[in-house]
Amino acid sequence: MAVDATPLLGARTGIGRFTAAVLAGLGARPDVAPRAFAATWRGRGTLDPLLPRGVTAVHRPMAARPLRAAWSALGRPAIEWWTGPVDVVHGTNFVVPPTRRAAAVVTVHDLTALHFPELCTPDVRRYPDLVRRALDRGAWVHAVSTFVAGEVVAELGAPPERVRAILNGGPDPGPSGDAAAGRARAGADRYVLALATVEPRKDHPTLVRAFAADALGGPLGGVRLVLAGPDGWGTEALDAALARSPAAERVTRLGWVDDAARASLLAGAAALAYPSRYEGFGLPPLEAMAAGVPVVATAVGAVPEVVGDAAVLVPPGDAEALAAALHEVLVDGDRADELRRRGRARVAAYDWDRTVDGLVALYREAAR
């Protein structure tokens, strides 16, 4: 099989973390032989050190922009020209290349581009059409949640028999974060953490407004808000929100952080805020639950499906409700402890080995 590993390049986003976990699981299995390709010219030669054991890199370089234009307009060239003969090609990020004989599987993480095109870059706004074209070529769809699977059928017209909901796993196993190091990096003993790329869908401005609400002032005036994640196309709106905020001096922006820093920030956090306007899954809440951190999130998309009763859910875009929920978990120790207990139980249900088992079953079904 061939797997698109392009999301491994550059700052590791949620889709990059998904791709890394899937490749690690595939590479550890004796019954599959995964090859990884990256649709990039500038990043050629950088893929090998990012791949886990058991995964072979495709070294023939690929120029992403002209290739994707040709794939979209002409339905060729076939990916086997780069990978050689394979049974299945898995597009991990909404795009699966045309194939000569191989079955095609495309992962759909969400339908933000359909519901909120104004929140997306031009490239992302093309994703629904690219998925539809893949369906027309006979591709199978892997959806990361039951919610997204239903949307792919209802909104994109996918045949239900070609759509499989295979849930993401939980946090990557690894050493626990250092809470003291997290607090030192945050510059505070108590802080609310947000882990997300700065893009409109993640709604940082509402979080900044919530943090300036009366509910988070007074005795909680020593609590900081820490924003960790790379800048994206929502940076200007975040800058404007901070410029207007009377609590801006209590907000720390860290930008992108590596996995060790991410784990330490989680370990030291008093709460995780996840104020998205739409989500197809939502890995940061599960990471927080695994670290024993109470979660406050918005009741959008697949978030209720993922967190169950282990988080406080509020309406999207409601700064006052978000502030009240954060106040609740910050001042009510019993409530915070209850969320920690429920969170640890919830995250135990998410396992990357189970995800990879489901994907391999899908590959075999598609290949038949």
Do 25 and 145 have their domain in common?
A: yes
pLDDT, tens digit (0-9, with 9 covering 90-100), for 143-152: 999 999 999 9
Structure tokens at 103: 């079955």
How much is the pLDDT for 301?
95
Residue 39 domain flag: yes
How much is the pLDDT for 13?
79
Do 74 and 10 have their domain in common?
A: yes
Residue 320 domain flag: yes
Angle between helices 146-156 and 127-136 (to 10 degrees): 80
Do 188 and 332 have their domain in common?
A: yes
Residue 174 domain flag: no
Do 223 and 207 have their domain in common?
A: yes
pLDDT, tens digit (0-9, with 9 covering 90-100), for 264-277: 999 999 999 999 99
Residue 186 domain flag: yes
Residue 107 domain flag: yes
How much is the pLDDT for 92?
96
Do 162 and 302 have their domain in common?
A: no
Do 214 and 132 have their domain in common?
A: no
Do 140 and 111 have their domain in common?
A: yes
CATH code for the domain of 11: 3.40.50.2000
Of the candidates 138, 129, 140, 77, the one whose C-alpha atom is nearest the C-alpha of residue 107 is: 140
How much is the pLDDT for 176?
80
Residue 87 domain flag: yes
Q: Does residue 80 contact residue 60 with C-beta atoms inside 8 Å?
A: no
Domain that holds residue 270: 179-347
CA dihedral 147, 24, 259, 105 (to 10 degrees): -30
When divided into structural domains, the chain yields a total of 2
How much is the pLDDT for 233?
84
How much is the pLDDT for 11?
72
Residue 262 domain flag: yes
Do 129 and 97 have their domain in common?
A: yes
Do 93 and 164 have their domain in common?
A: yes
The DSSP symbol for 79 reads: T
Parts of the chain with a pLDDT under 70: 41-44, 64, 173-175
**By CB neighbour count within 10 A (0-12 exposed, 13-18 middle, 19+ buried), where does 70 fall?**
middle
Do 159 and 218 have their domain in common?
A: no
Do 297 and 154 have their domain in common?
A: no
pTM metric for this prediction: 0.87
What does 250-312 look like in DSSP terms, one character per residue?
GEEEEES--HHHHHHHHHH-SEEEE--S--SS-HHHHHHHHTT--EEEE--TTHHHHHTTSSE
Do 343 and 355 have their domain in common?
A: no
How much is the pLDDT for 10?
80
Please say whether the dihedral angle defined by the alpha carbons of residues 216, 217, 220 and 226, taken in this order, is positive or negative: positive
Count, residues in the chain: 368
How much is the pLDDT for 75?
75
Residue 15 domain flag: yes
How much is the pLDDT for 12?
76
